[in-house]
Chains A and B, each alone.
Chain A
């Protein structure tokens, strides 16, 4: 049960943006490429310098150890990267329910990362993030390289997680149909300004 408050957040030339992600709420974020949607997400995760304030349940990001902040505010980057050869080495804990929900079985942990397809890696990256039990999810095009069946599975897994944890979700996508399916309301970043989408 967490609430994320973004107050006058500004990165580079993006106009200061303010919004709130309520507990359990899924907010869609769309807009042309290169506008800075990813920058906003990275700033909320405190991965890049930014102005303005971000608070989680009233606690300012600046007052929390940055690593701890990023465990709580989980950012899924658009491209997954891996530092070890074996898939399992990237997982602190192994949650079999979620693994099977995304169409894998327990052998997946022994797979070589280099042999995984980009779609498999994208799904595994989400599992890797959820293993941290983040209180907020920032998803940067989480299903960009997935087939329709996998997209369904991924959407329902995120829905379950969101409802179980009452976890707010900020979901970046270029697919209006997807955002219409998953999001309770939508924001749009265009001309360097963040606005509520009609």
Chain B
């Protein structure tokens, strides 16, 4: 089975549907038409650009360029993690906490998959490494952002409970144990649910894409299972690292709750 190439006309027809949606928004006064059109334009431009980048990356296959690409992806994911929190840590911690945990977890799992499981030659073959890392980072980013947001906002809201537990002589890890556990669950549940629903409720995007481009369904399914496992492990480990580091950072050396370390805290 060959891939059916899409012409500009084909994409234009699909774009008509989006225009129709924008028109509908205008008629129904949803005030979303501007956003719809801008987002559609962004999707087009951004994806075309990344297509060009990937094209030259695949052609060169140089480890240097692939690493650079990987770190740009990580940097953007780190920023997104910070942006999605109501009260991120201030200073470098806000950025570094998410980035570090995603780096350790996503990169380790992706490299493990490339070296040990798939066994590409060379191991960093961009056709495999970049999409794999992209999927890892995308999902890990969600988990870490959810967990950290839960951690910092819960600590903020339950400061009195935490301080009570400290005043009763509990160690910092015990005083924040319930909140940490809650944050971990919040970070991990989406991917656990996604694994449970895969194939029944939803056909995962990567598998669908592979099938559309002519891969036999069972091959696509095997890759999807691999990806699911990698994402689950990567998200889980990153969430654990981020939550532990974040929880630790909420206390100073004398185990005092230090909410002033959160941005926008206004704590004196």
Contact = CB atoms under 8 A, between A and B. Distances in A.
Interface of A: 12, 45-49, 62, 66-68, 70-71, 74-75, 77, 79-83, 128-129, 132
A12 B268 contact: yes
Given A12-B268, A66-B255, A128-B168, A47 B160 contact: no
Interface of B: 160-161, 163-172, 178, 252, 254-257, 268
Contacts of B255: 66-67
B160 A71 contact: no
Contacts of A66: 254-256
A83 B165 CA distance: 8
A77 B169 contact: no
B168 to A, nearest CB: 6
B164 A77 contact: yes
Nearest to B164: A81
A13 to B, nearest CB: 10
A72 to B, nearest CB: 8
Contacts of B169: 67-68, 70-71, 132
A74 B178 CA distance: 23
Given A70-B166, A132-B168, A79 B160 contact: yes
Given A81-B161, A83-B178, A45 B167 contact: yes
A82 B255 CA distance: 20
Given A77-B164, A82-B161, A83-B161, A48 B256 contact: yes
B165 to A, nearest CB: 6
Given A81-B160, A129-B168, 5 more contacts: A47-B166, A67-B166, A67-B171, A81-B161, A82-B161
Contacts of B256: 46-49, 66
B260 to A, nearest CB: 9
A49 B252 contact: yes
A82 B254 CA distance: 23
